[in-house]
Amino acid sequence: MKHLRDKTLLAGLDVGTSKVLVVVGERHDDGRVEIIASGTHPARGLKRGIVVDIETTAYSIQHAVEAAELMAGAPLRGVYVGIAGAHIRGINSHGNVAIHHSEVGARDVDRVLDAARAVAIPTDQQVLHVIEQEFILDRQDGIRDPVGMTGVRLDARVHIVTAAATAVQCLEKCTERCGLEVEGLVLEQYASAFAVLSDDDLDRGVCLLDIGAGSADLAVFRKGTIQHTRSFETVSGDVVTNHLALWLRTSSYHAEELKIRHGAALVEIVPPQETVEVPSGGERAASKLSRQNLAAEIRRCYEYFYELVATELRESGWDEALGAGFVLTGGGAKMEGAIELAEEFFHAPVRLGLPTALGGLSEVVSNPAYATGVGLVAYAAQQTPPARARWYARRKSPASGAPLWSRLRGWFEGHF
Ligand SMILES: Nc1ncnc2c1ncn2[C@@H]1O[C@H](COP(=O)(O)OP(=O)(O)OP(=O)(O)O)[C@@H](O)[C@H]1O
Ligand SMILES: [Mg+2]
């Protein structure tokens, strides 16, 4: 039997607000990783992406895991787990050190990274990632790996991602209750990026927006690496559904059905004569609704979402730096017309983010709602050679020879 420990299988666990998803990838002899299985189960016990009931969440995870194992034909032992939500903080930091022997050594790199991550973290938060953005040697910036170069002063810029310690512990508890080892915790939109973005997007500048059921998670990438992260609780598929339920005076269940089956975010793509039946929440008879009116209401929700995103980009200074535009992913990006509306709104190229980076099962790699799950597998694949792409930062520590992630994991495990 194959299992994760022999490193041929890699698994990602995405505990979303609407569904728990397990994606399994297999590494071939040539190093290629391909998606071979997935399992999903409706999520219970989460609110806006955060575990609020460990037992029920563990139950959903168990079912999704069993489905994935059945399909993979092998038991899973460890998983990379996605984490997101409004408790996530992303900060840019930098540090600098003097180079004593003019040539930069591995120890200098470690020292400058230690200096860069020496920032005050609130006691209720813990570090998830310290992602290297660039090194600057004297006046030369944009350096990926300065070892062997000569200079007198080395600077490092990093993006530090922290999460609420309680949210991390709940997620770990749920996973471990299902007999699975947490091999790594990964910011969800960072994971999604591994599945849907190209090197060109990362270099030219791109805003990735994962619109889930409970929140929307944003990440800006430029110069090959992550620059800015943000989570919005008021941007999500559930926000649209709840708004429609109130507006139509029907149940959330019926509103969700209507939204998915008949919704659109652009009025002009809907034939004017089409109507849909709206079941009432109670005793009242069902009513008729023009699909164009439904689309107009959904458009308002998406415009509001895009307005919040535009404000965030403007305030963080990244609005001018997005040469590759926007990539929308997550289930909320499947709304008909949402991509076209975003193009109109942002005056920039916008595309739907399909998780095609690894290839494999077509029902998985063609579904934007699976971007995080696939991305977790792609991220896992990065933790052991061979590396797929260059942009995930320098993985090898020349000093220790250990992958950066395992050093970081060791570091933040010490802080639990
Ligand atoms: N075809 C569709 N059109 C519009 N919305 C859709 C469609 N399919 C799914 N959705 C919406 O996408 C959302 C689910 O997306 P997704 O599976 O990415 O969320 P999640 O990962 O469970 O949640 P989160 O990431 O916020 O914790 C739901 O709100 C659902 O209504
Ligand atoms: Mg999600």
> Are 36 and 377 contacting, i.e. CB atoms less than 8 angstroms apart?
no
Instruction: Kindly state the tokens that stand for 359.
Output: 């290839």
Are 157 and 40 part of one and the same domain? no
- Closest listed residue to residue 232, CA positions, set 85, 117, 388: 85
Task: Assess if residue 250 is contained within a domain.
Answer: no
Task: Assess if residue 374 is contained within a domain.
Answer: yes
Segments forming the whole domain that contains residue 38? 4-86+165-198+355-408
Q: What is the dihedral of CA 301, 304, 306, 311, to 10 degrees?
A: -170
Are 117 and 133 part of one and the same domain? yes
Are 93 and 63 part of one and the same domain? no
pLDDT at 7 over 80: no
Q: What is the pLDDT of residues 284-335, one digit of tens each?
A: 788 899 999 999 999 999 999 999 999 999 999 999 999 999 999 999 999 9
Q: What is the pLDDT of residue 281?
A: 65
Task: Assess if residue 303 is contained within a domain.
Answer: no
Are 173 and 144 part of one and the same domain? no
Q: End of a domain among 163, 187, 222?
A: 163
Q: End of a domain among 163, 180, 206?
A: 163
3-state secondary structure (DSSP) of residue 197? coil
- 387 or 181, which is more confident: 181
Q: Which of 15, 17, 87 to mutate to test the pocket of ligand 1 (most atoms within 8 A of CB)?
A: 17
Are 81 and 170 part of one and the same domain? yes
Are 123 and 156 part of one and the same domain? yes
> Are 147 and 105 contacting, i.e. CB atoms less than 8 angstroms apart?
yes
User: Per-residue confidence at 85, pLDDT binned at 50, 70, 90?
Assistant: confident
Task: Assess if residue 146 is contained within a domain.
Answer: yes
Task: Assess if residue 29 is contained within a domain.
Answer: yes
Strands 206-211 and 216-222: antiparallel
To the nearest whole percent, how much of the chain has pLDDT over 70?
90
Q: What is the pLDDT of residues 176-209, one digit of tens each?
A: 999 999 999 999 999 999 999 999 999 999 999 9
Ligand 1 pocket residue status of 16, Cβ below 6 Å: yes
User: Atom 4 in ligand 1: which residue has the minimum CA distance?
Assistant: 335
Ligand 1 pocket residue status of 330, Cβ below 6 Å: yes
Are 13 and 135 part of one and the same domain? no
Average pLDDT, the chain: 89
Amino acid identity, residue 86? A
Are 42 and 80 part of one and the same domain? yes
Q: Which of 294, 334, 339, 364 to mutate to test the pocket of ligand 1 (most atoms within 8 A of CB)?
A: 334
pLDDT at 394 over 70: no
Provide the domain count of the chain: 2
Task: Give me the CATH number covering residue 130.
Answer: 3.30.1490.110
Are 64 and 188 part of one and the same domain? yes
Amino acid identity, residue 256? E
Are 153 and 132 part of one and the same domain? yes
Q: What is the pLDDT of residue 277?
A: 94
Are 123 and 157 part of one and the same domain? yes
Q: Measure 167 CA to ligand 1 centroid, in angstroms.
A: 21
Task: Give me the CATH number covering residue 68.
Answer: 3.30.420.40
User: Per-residue confidence at 384, pLDDT binned at 50, 70, 90?
Assistant: low
Q: What is the pLDDT of residue 389?
A: 31
Task: Assess if residue 263 is contained within a domain.
Answer: no
- 385 or 289, which is more confident: 289
Task: Assess if residue 47 is contained within a domain.
Answer: yes
Give the mean model confidence (pLDDT) for residues 366-389. 82
Q: What is the pLDDT of residues 326-361, one digit of tens each?
A: 999 999 999 999 999 999 999 999 999 999 999 999
Q: End of a domain among 104, 138, 163?
A: 163
Are 10 and 79 part of one and the same domain? yes
pLDDT at 172 over 70: yes
pLDDT at 372 over 70: yes
Closest ligand 1 atom, CA of 214?
A: 26
Rounded Cα distance between 233 and 304, Å, is 13
Ligand 1 pocket residue status of 291, Cβ below 6 Å: no
Q: What is the pLDDT of residue 48?
A: 75
Q: Full-prediction pTM beyond 0.85?
A: yes
Q: What is the pLDDT of residue 49?
A: 74
Give the mean model confidence (pLDDT) for residues 354-372. 96
Task: Assess if residue 128 is contained within a domain.
Answer: yes
Give the mean model confidence (pLDDT) for residues 54-64. 95
Give, as one character, the DSSP assignment of residue 286. P
